[in-house]
Amino acid sequence: MAEEISPAAAPSPVTDSDLEPLLAADLDGWQMAGQGRFFWAADGILESEGGPGIFWYADSVYADFLLRVDWRTRTPEDNSGVFLRLPPLAHDLGPALRLGYEVQIDDRGIDPEANRSDCPLHLTGAVYRQAPAQGRLSRPVGAWNRFDITFRGPTLCVWLNGAPVSRLDRGNRRPEGHVGLQAHHPGSRVQFRNLRIARL
């Protein structure tokens, strides 16, 4: 159930020392499901290429947590997402879409079924098809953005560049799982850095 965002609903106070980096230089613990790949485009900057696929962290399962990540797009057509509470994945991405949660990166807000844009359930910061984004908070193409994402029990809250953008209460999918990044389609190249997580 999606709810209006309260400005008072801020991320849990977590210090930098509480946050565990998830992107080691050798990408140890990460696996690719589906098509596409992720690679180091520059020092500390991970980039998606091709797709559709999900790059997921197989070494740990998370239930309640704060996840923080910086990201940027290269063109207005770029599309990606941050996946949460995923089941273990192989080549079939169906379980991720049915059982996990996705925080969307798509500034056009494309609804592929309705074939239209500017759809709040598909806009950057939305919990994909579950909780709408409460506005356009992304910075211009080429600029870095930051997600702060908290999951506590059934409640998922998303902040984009320091402002609350979406909230899902009573999430009824998996109570815990893996985190992942999406490679959406050939030609889409979204970059990520500083992917860190803290258990709550």
Task: Say which amino acid occupies 91.
Answer: H
What global pTM score does this model have? Answer: 0.93
16-37-89-28 Cα dihedral, nearest 10 degrees: -50
Unique residue bearing structure tokens 């798509």: 106
pLDDT tens digits, 10-61: 566 778 889 999 999 999 999 999 999 999 999 999 999 999 999 999 999 9
pLDDT tens digits, 36-48: 999 999 999 999 9
**Separation CA 111–CA 22 (nearest Å):** 31
DSSP at 116: B
Domains and CATH numbers, the chain: 30-199 (2.60.120.560)
In 10 A of CB 112, how many CB atoms? 8
